[in-house]
Structure 1
């Protein structure tokens, strides 16, 4: 055997061993944990107590019941959080803060106050995740004084006792039903196959909340927040969806970063970024692209477990129809017979860009074709 032949054999062995190790690191099962959480309900309640009309549509009675107990300076702190996080930076209070506080152990309002006073562990833990960025951290730092005032206000009005009396019983009743059905759905292997990489764990924690409507929120780890009233189908969709954020590793994939940047020159897509209700989030191109990728993947995977929903109606109504890239991707999944694990999603996405599937008017044309096609 020549030196070159030996080299090729060695390389083949490396590739083979790498593939085996990758397969071995993936999971064969899904473990479910469904529970309430005072901590995350308190963080989501900040949306409501900021007097944001978007949330008062869902929680007007709760706002009126709780806000009358608050002092003017306390109400001002809640409003300041909305102004800074949502109005000035296009974020969602509950999503931003739940993600950050999920990086540390904190069960009570006093625990949350301690974290606000000393956030070093939070920062260190967040930096070990894909979700940390300097701008987001600066936004949190600027909000710490208002957060402490808000948490102290919730302590003063006995919000935790109110939650135990008014919220926990409802959530517990819903939890029993959802927890009984989720073990039938082994979603982790399907997600890992599509993404081409293993999740950090096959243990999925669903926090059922009262104050989280109308959102589903991804936090650190294989955990997410959902509303206790959502039907089982939505909770399952939430679980599939939230486990895939982010669906690619842009920090280590410059080619895909360059591809996604091209979407900024597509007027049809950018019109959705720039002209929609900012309460939905997705106020930057990168955020909307990631969400749309995950929405398309969510439906593609969910169809393995439950009957397909009416995707035309869903994407026509979802966030006022802004998810046009999701529609284009989903149509390509069908057209191209997207098949994992032969071609994991990041590789598929790059191939679609290389083949010009999103150039020019392609996204708009695919949306027109999708919504005009006969429903079978």
Structure 2
């Protein structure tokens, strides 16, 4: 399975005017929010800024320049090489995928990152191989480059990354954790996820606040995700609504295979997968389906909770407009009044594949209505 779908770059975009919540009496609260922080995950996330990629320097150029000056020259030059190799060798975006693979190894401090990398088979593999979204090639890549990564993180430790991070977060960080916890208390994301997928979820959602994670909201093992500490509560709810859904149903199951077979014959969706900028991830049709059905569902959940962005604005601004499939799936789910009825999502996707609703005629028409674009010009977006 392609795991690049874990990376939800669009979650970092500024909110558009929200859509009012549905006025139904709420059921008993299912969601329990656990808001924490992690020096270890922040060290992993800071690889993005240290890689020199504009995607991250847009947010952290000054931080990266100051801290990089404290690192040995060979480490400064190897981090960009690692990031480039990760993408060209199909590992994906370096820091989000690395964080996900290590997330079963008890990542707390920078020391814990080094310890996990020093013993991939003992500390990382057990949890990794229980992960339904695992790709064995990712673990192979990690094991092959583990000594280089250890050298990077040891250099960061020697340069006092922990102190640098504490200064960046400031003395009010504990209060920020409490503020986010209080703000989330009324948002029952899990109840909506269960209703719209037909699956059961653990009621606990772990939110890890970081200093250096923009622009990503990144899914870890189980019900844990990483996000920037300064995101507002509405953004946190949207990230949680999205990230916990991955995968929306078994991507090696019959329903997914049927949907992928239909989409593979679409003249547009596979072209988007092939031709879009790979920095956004989603470089396989399976990865795009996984991501975009989650985006369609999280849009419905966000609307129900009163924190949604306008869907046309959202999918125009996100990732160069590549999520046409999300718009189409969202439109079909809206036609079926899915937010009111709920049900088994895997059965819904199988039925949509059988009935022809995932074919270009119906899917593109639904996307055009949602995205407010002509049906014959859904992608790429017009320049300017």
Distance 1:241 1:372, change over 3 A: closer
CA contact (8 A) 2:196 2:342 kept: no
Structure 2 counterparts to residues 199-214 of structure 1, below 5 A? 199=201, 201-214=202-215
CA contact (8 A) 1:171 1:209 kept: no
Distance in 1 between the 2:196 and 2:124 partners? Answer: 31
CA contact (8 A) 1:296 1:327 kept: yes
Q: Which residue of 2 aligns with 1:76?
A: 77
Q: 1:261: how far off?
A: 3.3
Q: Structure 2 length normalisation: TM-score? A: 0.85
Distance in 2 between the 1:163 and 1:347 partners? Answer: 46
CA contact (8 A) 1:259 1:350 kept: yes
Q: 1:193: how far off?
A: 2.0
Secondary structure (helix, strand or coil) at the match of 1:304 reads helix
CA RMSD in angstroms comes to 1.9
Q: Which residue of 2 aligns with 1:24?
A: none
* Gap regions ≥5 residues in structure 1: 1-26
Structure of greater relative contact order (alpha carbons < 8 Å, 6+ residues apart): 2
Secondary structure (helix, strand or coil) at the match of 2:227 reads strand
CA contact (8 A) 1:324 1:363 kept: no
CA contact (8 A) 2:238 2:307 kept: no
Q: Which residue of 1 aligns with 2:294?
A: 294
CA contact (8 A) 2:197 2:248 kept: yes
Structure 2 counterparts to residues 191-270 of structure 1, below 5 A? 191-199=193-201, 201-251=202-252, 253-270=253-270
Distance in 2 between the 1:338 and 1:75 partners? Answer: 50
Q: 1:262: how far off?
A: 2.9
Distance 1:359 1:102, change over 3 A: same
Distance 1:360 1:191, change over 3 A: closer
Distance in 2 between the 1:282 and 1:155 partners? Answer: 33
* Gap regions ≥5 residues in structure 2: 1-27, 374-384
Q: Which residue of 2 aligns with 1:334?
A: 334
Q: Which residue of 2 aligns with 1:125?
A: 127
Distance 1:137 1:168, change over 3 A: farther
Structure 1 residue 85 and structure 2 residue 64: aligned? no
Q: 1:265: how far off?
A: 2.4
Distance 1:342 1:298, change over 3 A: closer
Distance 1:303 1:48, change over 3 A: same
Structure 1 residue 370 and structure 2 residue 359: aligned? no
Q: Which residue of 1 aligns with 2:140?
A: 138
Distance 1:160 1:342, change over 3 A: closer
Q: Which residue of 1 aligns with 2:112?
A: 111
Larger Rg: 1
Distance in 1 between the 2:173 and 2:219 partners? Answer: 19
Q: 1:362: how far off?
A: 3.5
Distance 1:340 1:145, change over 3 A: farther
Instruction: Give the length in aligned residue pairs.
Output: 345
Q: Which residue of 2 aligns with 1:315?
A: 315
Q: Which residue of 1 aligns with 2:34?
A: 33
Q: Which residue of 1 aligns with 2:15?
A: none
